[in-house]
């Protein structure tokens, strides 16, 4: 059998069911207060804290999840970092996709074992690692990044995570729109795309819609992760204008962690309120216009002529004021106002 210290950690963890720590492993140490320190086990290595010294050899050969003591008797829980730990701590050039969004991307982007995925941009490689884990060695992820320096950071992060090159990964420097159709085999001899999933995390995904349509298989999934509503809106309109994508679906997710101490079991006071929006649509059969729902215009909607009128900037009357109708909201009736006033006079609560 191959020397386990030369194997990627994932491979080793699969083979070594005892999960004993070996030289080269990253280990996350947490003290009684939950403070985290990540170390890489080395021969003769030591971890120094203001309390004492923990010699790496104390950990080598111990099973994952052990509790070890330093020279002063301070205890540490030792665990191999999970993927989410690694993702959050990886050195970054560009901002990463957070684990909560990566999880949504894998589910709603329908990233399956064996899938052929095109990804752009790559940034720090955070999402790339999640995609590679999901497609496995039988699938393929071709990542395209505009900036050479970011591509280099991504390569280092991905290869550190997998403990070496991943057989299913290709990384190219270029713009998705120019580079993707040039990749050999991405468009079949019949002119139809062969890519199952296109995953975009970049400033202007709407510029990539035409290319995504060229490279996707019929029924393939287009997924974009964007930070702002304006990006989301432009991408939705580009998908609709293209005509060969199903009606887009957009959402965001919130994760609220909980404080668990004694009887104080409650949501944490702080949360990450905004990361980004997700958007998916599916490619129709080539040459087939998507079936779109016929909608009656909402009472507050405006026709093209009105939207383009310079005087009212498309919203409200000539004065450019926004009305509740412009926002698709129901107005407050005179009756409701009278009732509220009456309730106040009578000291009645809602
Ligand atoms: C927010 S970062 C991506 C982060 C990445 N998903 C992660 O988890 O680490 C956006 C990246 O897209 C790249 N980019 C922007 N437009 C692009 C395009 N048209 N083609 C390829 N890369 C592009 C940028 O250079 C940047 O590195």
Q: Please give the chain's pLDDT, 350 residues, in tens.
A: 345 455 555 555 544 545 799 998 889 999 999 899 989 999 999 999 988 999 999 999 999 999 999 999 999 999 999 999 988 888 888 888 999 999 999 999 999 999 999 999 999 999 999 999 999 999 999 999 999 999 999 999 999 888 899 999 999 999 999 999 999 999 999 999 999 999 999 999 999 999 999 999 999 999 999 999 999 999 999 999 999 999 999 999 999 999 999 999 999 999 999 999 999 999 999 999 999 876 666 655 555 665 566 555 544 444 555 566 655 667 788 888 888 888 888 878 76
Distance 122 CA to ligand 1 centre (A): 5
CA dist 110 and 22 (Å) reads: 35
Token pair of 299 as six digits: 């009472």
Mutate which of 146, 177, 198, 276 for ligand 1? The one with the most ligand atoms within 8 Å of its CB, which is: 146
Phi, psi of 282 (to 5 degrees): -115, 145
Pairing label, strands 169-173, 140-145: parallel
Mutate which of 99, 121, 148 for ligand 1? The one with the most ligand atoms within 8 Å of its CB, which is: 121
232: buried, middle or exposed (CB in 10 Å: 19+, 13-18, 0-12)?
Answer: buried
Ligand 1 pocket (Cβ < 6 Å) reads 94-97, 120-127, 144-147, 150, 175-177, 201-203
Which atom of ligand 1 is found nearest the CA of 147?
25
CA dihedral 85, 89, 95, 97 (to 10 degrees): -10
- pLDDT reported for residue 333: 84
Q: Which residues pair with 10 in a beta bridge?
A: none
Spacing of C-alpha 133 from chain mean position: 14
Distance 153 CA to ligand 1 centre (A): 12
Pairing label, strands 75-79, 67-69: antiparallel
Distance 49 CA to ligand 1 centre (A): 38
CA dist 155 and 122 (Å) reads: 9
Distance 92 CA to ligand 1 centre (A): 12
- pLDDT reported for residue 142: 98
SS (H, E, C) 256-314: CCEEEECCEEEECCCCCCCCCEEEEEEECCCCCCCCCCCCCCCCCCCCHHHHCCCCCCC
Kindly report the protein residue whose alpha carbon is nearest to atom 5 of ligand 1: 123
> Is CATH 3.40.50.2300 the classification given to domain 4-81?
no
CA dist 94 and 101 (Å) reads: 16
Kindly report the protein residue whose alpha carbon is nearest to atom 13 of ligand 1: 121
Tokens 């060969």 identify what position?
Answer: 244
Token pair of 130 as six digits: 């999640």
Distance 150 CA to ligand 1 centre (A): 8
Which atom of ligand 1 is found nearest the CA of 175?
20
- pLDDT reported for residue 314: 46
Mutate which of 94, 153, 210 for ligand 1? The one with the most ligand atoms within 8 Å of its CB, which is: 94
Report the CATH superfamily, name and number, of domain 85-282.
Vaccinia Virus protein VP39 (3.40.50.150)
CA dihedral 167, 12, 106, 183 (to 10 degrees): -10
Distance 65 CA to ligand 1 centre (A): 36
Kindly report the protein residue whose alpha carbon is nearest to atom 2 of ligand 1: 123
Which atom of ligand 1 is found nearest the CA of 125?
9
Kindly report the protein residue whose alpha carbon is nearest to atom 1 of ligand 1: 95
DSSP 121-185: --TTSHHHHHHHHHH-TTSEEEEEES-HHHHHHHHHHHHHHHTS--TTEEEEES-HHHHGGGSTT
Kindly report the protein residue whose alpha carbon is nearest to atom 4 of ligand 1: 123
Identify which of 224, 276, 280, 279 has the alpha carbon closest to the alpha carbon of residue 95: 276
Domain ranges of the chain: 4-81, 85-282, 295-350
pTM: 0.82
Mutate which of 122, 160, 171, 179 for ligand 1? The one with the most ligand atoms within 8 Å of its CB, which is: 122
Token pair of 282 as six digits: 């599916």
């Amino acid at each position: 059998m191959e020397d386990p210290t030369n194997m990627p950690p994932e491979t080793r963890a699969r083979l070594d069911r005892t999960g004993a720590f070996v030289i080269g492993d990253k280990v996350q140490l947490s003290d009684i207060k939950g403070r985290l320190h990540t170390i890489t086990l080395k021969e003769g290595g030591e971890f120094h804290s203001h309390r004492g010294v923990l010699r790496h050899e104390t950990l080598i050969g111990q099973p994952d999840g052990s509790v070890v003591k330093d020279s002063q008797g301070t205890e540490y829980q030792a665990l191999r970092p999970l993927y989410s730990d690694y993702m959050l701590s990886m050195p970054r050039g560009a901002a990463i996709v957070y684990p909560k969004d990566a999880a949504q991307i894998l589910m709603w982007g329908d990233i399956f074992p064996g899938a052929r995925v095109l990804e752009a941009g790559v940034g720090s490689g955070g999402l790339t690692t999640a995609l590679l884990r999901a497609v496995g060695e039988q699938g393929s992820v071709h990542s395209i990044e505009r900036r050479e320096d970011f591509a280099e950071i991504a390569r280092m992060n991905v290869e550190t995570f997998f403990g070496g090159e991943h057989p299913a990964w290709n990384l190219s420097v270029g713009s998705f729109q120019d580079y993707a159709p040039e990749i050999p085999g991405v468009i079949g001899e019949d002119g139809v795309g062969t890519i199952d999933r296109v995953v975009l995390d970049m400033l202007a995904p709407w510029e990539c819609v035409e290319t995504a349509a060229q490279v996707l298989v019929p029924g393939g999934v287009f997924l974009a992760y964007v930070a702002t509503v304006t990006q989301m809106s432009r991408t939705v309109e580009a998908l609709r204008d293209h005509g060969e994508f199903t009606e887009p679906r957009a959402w965001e997710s919130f994760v609220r962690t909980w404080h668990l101490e004694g009887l104080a079991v409650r949501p944490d006071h702080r949360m990450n309120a905004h990361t980004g929006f997700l958007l998916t649509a599916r490619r129709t059969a080539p040459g087939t216009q998507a079936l779109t729902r016929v909608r009656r215009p909402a009472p507050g909607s405006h026709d093209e002529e009105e939207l383009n009128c310079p005087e009212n900037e498309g919203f409200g009357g000539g004065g450019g004021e926004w009305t509740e109708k412009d926002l698709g909201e129901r107005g407050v009736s005179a009756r409701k106002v009278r009732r509220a006033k009456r309730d106040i006079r009578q000291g009645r609560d809602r």
